């Protein structure tokens, strides 16, 4: 007699458990239906999940404030760039009017003479040549180091070496310049003589004298831009989706084939951005090139001979002895360097945008 409720409530084979469950469910439903419903108040919507007006208003206000701050920052950058351009133009126009030579083709620099004669041709040529040679040396090395640190080296070793490479970017330019002038000039002179002996039939490997040259300045610049390109490329390679790498390896690809088919294509926009950032760094370098380049004003493709010059190095070397017209001429050369750097940055942004648009359309 006493066991019947127990069996029907827990384990019986008849209909008692189901009946009891239905009765309980019906009773609970009745109690819920009979419970009074309180009206909704604004205080109930103050939680994060309530979707109330007050949190939404605050979030919307914070979003509008952040959008206004970012818009103001972007406009301020454009205003500063325009102000720099206006300042350079205003200071350069009097010197350009007084110049009796063609500013774009004349290879000399005599702004202190009467009448003044100066030109930007040789300086712009040396600036672009040294920067391109620096990238030619630094980019393969930087990409190789970045791939090793991101996909070959053990994690601890890769992290430690990454910190060491990042520290190279904190070394002042004058240190690189003094090191290149006092210690690197001898080995580079020996290298220049060897290149001329065996490859002298190539126009860029001409005769000496060997010393402060385009080659020396380019090697110093390559060492200076190496940590920038390496750090950015390593971060880009580490962002490659693991699924892409595992898919390539699952299809039988080797480690290098996986890097070539999955990592490098994914990181190509980042690589372009890193290279362009290094190019901008090389174009604007001043002290290091002032200490390692010569002070000649001639357009020559011989990168081994003593000589060469750049816009930034010329400004550093000639500013102290310049008169009013000379300072205006140096500012005019700075305006050309400003334009070159701006064109490089715009070109880099256009390349990255076109690459992203092509990737999105292909996806």
The CATH number covering residue 171 comes to 1.10.3720.10
Q: Can you tell me the distance from the alpha carbon of 279 to that of 137, in angstroms, rounded to the nearest whole number? A: 12
Strands 109-110 and 117-118: antiparallel
| Closest CA relative to residue 232, chosen from 277, 171, 173 | 277
- Asked if the structure places residue 318 within a domain, the reply is yes
Q: What is the pLDDT of residue 45?
A: 46
Cβ within 8 Å of residue 29, ≥6 positions away: none
Q: What is the pLDDT of residue 113?
A: 87
Residue 293 per-residue DSSP state: S
Please check the confidence at residue 29 and state whether its pLDDT lies above 80. no
Higher pLDDT: 5 or 69? It is 69
Instruction: Provide mean pLDDT across the span 319-327.
Output: 90
- Asked if the structure places residue 21 within a domain, the reply is no
Q: Can you tell me the distance from the alpha carbon of 320 to that of 298, in angstroms, rounded to the nearest whole number? A: 22
Q: What is the pLDDT of residue 360?
A: 52
Pair 99, 116: CB distance under 8 Å = yes
Q: Can you tell me the distance from the alpha carbon of 189 to that of 210, in angstroms, rounded to the nearest whole number? A: 5
- Asked if the structure places residue 64 within a domain, the reply is no
Instruction: Provide mean pLDDT across the span 241-254.
Output: 88
pLDDT band at 169 (very low <50, low <70, confident <90, very high): confident
Tell me the pLDDT tens digit for each residue of 92-145.
Answer: 999 999 998 889 989 889 998 888 999 999 999 999 999 999 999 999 999 999
- Asked if the structure places residue 149 within a domain, the reply is yes
SS3 at position 306? strand
Tell me the pLDDT tens digit for each residue of 182-214.
Answer: 999 989 999 999 999 998 888 888 887 888 889
Where is mean pLDDT largest: 34-38, 52-56, 288-292?
288-292
Q: What is the pLDDT of residue 16?
A: 44
Pair 104, 121: CB distance under 8 Å = yes
Mean pLDDT for the chain overall:
82
- Asked if the structure places residue 9 within a domain, the reply is no
DSSP state string for 9-41: HHT-SSSHHHHHHHHHHHHHHHHHHHSPPPPP-
Pair 74, 66: CB distance under 8 Å = no
pLDDT band at 43 (very low <50, low <70, confident <90, very high): very low
- Asked if the structure places residue 14 within a domain, the reply is no
Q: Can you tell me the distance from the alpha carbon of 56 to that of 63, in angstroms, rounded to the nearest whole number? A: 10
- Asked if the structure places residue 308 within a domain, the reply is yes
Q: What is the pLDDT of residue 44?
A: 46
Q: Quick one: CA dihedral 73, 77, 80, 82, positive or negative? A: negative
Element (H, E) at 109: strand 109-110
Instruction: Provide mean pLDDT across the span 258-281.
Output: 88
Instruction: Provide mean pLDDT across the span 73-80.
Output: 92
If one counts the domains in the chain, the total is 1
SS3 at position 60? helix
Q: Can you tell me the distance from the alpha carbon of 155 to that of 175, in angstroms, rounded to the nearest whole number? A: 31
Phi and psi angles of residue 41, each rounded to the nearest 5 degrees, phi first: -115, 160
Q: What is the pLDDT of residue 159?
A: 86
Q: Which residues pair with 213 in a beta bridge?
A: 306
Q: Can you tell me the distance from the alpha carbon of 307 to that of 325, in angstroms, rounded to the nearest whole number? A: 25
CB atoms within 10 A of CB 77: 10
Please check the confidence at residue 71 and state whether its pLDDT lies above 70. yes
Residue 231 belongs to what domain range?
100-362
pLDDT band at 167 (very low <50, low <70, confident <90, very high): confident
Cβ within 8 Å of residue 174, ≥6 positions away: 287, 288, 291
Q: What is the pLDDT of residue 351?
A: 76
DSSP state string for 46-112: -STTTT-HHHHHHHHHHHHHHHHHHHHHHHHHHHHHHHHHHHHHHHHHHHHHH--S-TTT---EETT
SS3 at position 90? helix
Share of the chain above pLDDT 90, in %: 35
Please check the confidence at residue 221 and state whether its pLDDT lies above 90. yes
Q: Can you tell me the distance from the alpha carbon of 77 to that of 59, in angstroms, rounded to the nearest whole number? A: 27
Q: What is the pLDDT of residue 229?
A: 93
- Asked if the structure places residue 69 within a domain, the reply is no
Please check the confidence at residue 17 and state whether its pLDDT lies above 60. no
């Amino acid at each position: 007699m006493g066991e019947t409720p127990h069996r029907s409530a827990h384990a019986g084979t008849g209909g008692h458990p189901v009946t009891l469950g239905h009765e309980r469910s019906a009773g609970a439903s009745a109690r819920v239906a009979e419970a009074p419903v309180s009206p909704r108040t604004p205080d109930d919507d103050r939680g994060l999940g309530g979707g109330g007006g007050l949190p939404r208003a605050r979030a919307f206000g914070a979003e509008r404030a952040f959008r206004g701050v970012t818009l103001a920052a972007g406009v301020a950058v454009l205003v500063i760039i325009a102000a720099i351009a206006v300042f350079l133009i205003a200071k350069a126009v009097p010197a350009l009017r007084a110049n009796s030579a063609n500013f774009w083709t004349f290879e000399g620099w005599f702004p202190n003479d009467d009448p003044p004669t100066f030109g930007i041709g040789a300086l712009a040529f040396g600036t672009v040549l040294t920067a391109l040679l620096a990238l030619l040396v630094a980019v393969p090395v930087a990409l190789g180091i970045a791939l090793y640190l991101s996909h070959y080296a053990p994690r601890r070793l890769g992290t430690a070496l990454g910190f060491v490479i990042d520290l190279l970017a904190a070394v002042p330019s004058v240190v690189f310049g003094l090191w290149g002038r006092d210690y690197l000039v001898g080995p580079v002179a020996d290298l220049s003589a060897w290149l001329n002996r065996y490859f002298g039939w190539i126009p860029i490997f001409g005769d000496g004298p060997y010393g402060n040259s385009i080659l020396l300045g380019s090697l110093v610049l390559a060492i200076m831009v190496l940590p920038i390109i390496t750090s950015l490329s390593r971060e880009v390679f580490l962002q490659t989706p693991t699924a892409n790498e595992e898919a390539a390896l699952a299809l039988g690809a080797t480690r290098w084939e996986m890097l070539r088919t999955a990592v490098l294509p994914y990181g190509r926009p980042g690589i372009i951005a890193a290279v362009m950032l290094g190019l901008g760094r090389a174009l604007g370098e001043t002290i290091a090139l002032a200490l390692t380049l010569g002070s000649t004003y001639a357009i020559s493709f011989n990168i081994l001979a003593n000589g060469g010059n750049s816009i930034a190095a010329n400004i550093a070397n000639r500013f102290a002895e310049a008169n009013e017209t000379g300072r205006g001429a140096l500012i005019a050369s700075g305006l050309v360097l400003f334009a070159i750097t701006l064109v490089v940055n715009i070109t880099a942004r256009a390349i990255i945008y076109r690459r992203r648009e092509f990737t999105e359309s292909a996806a």
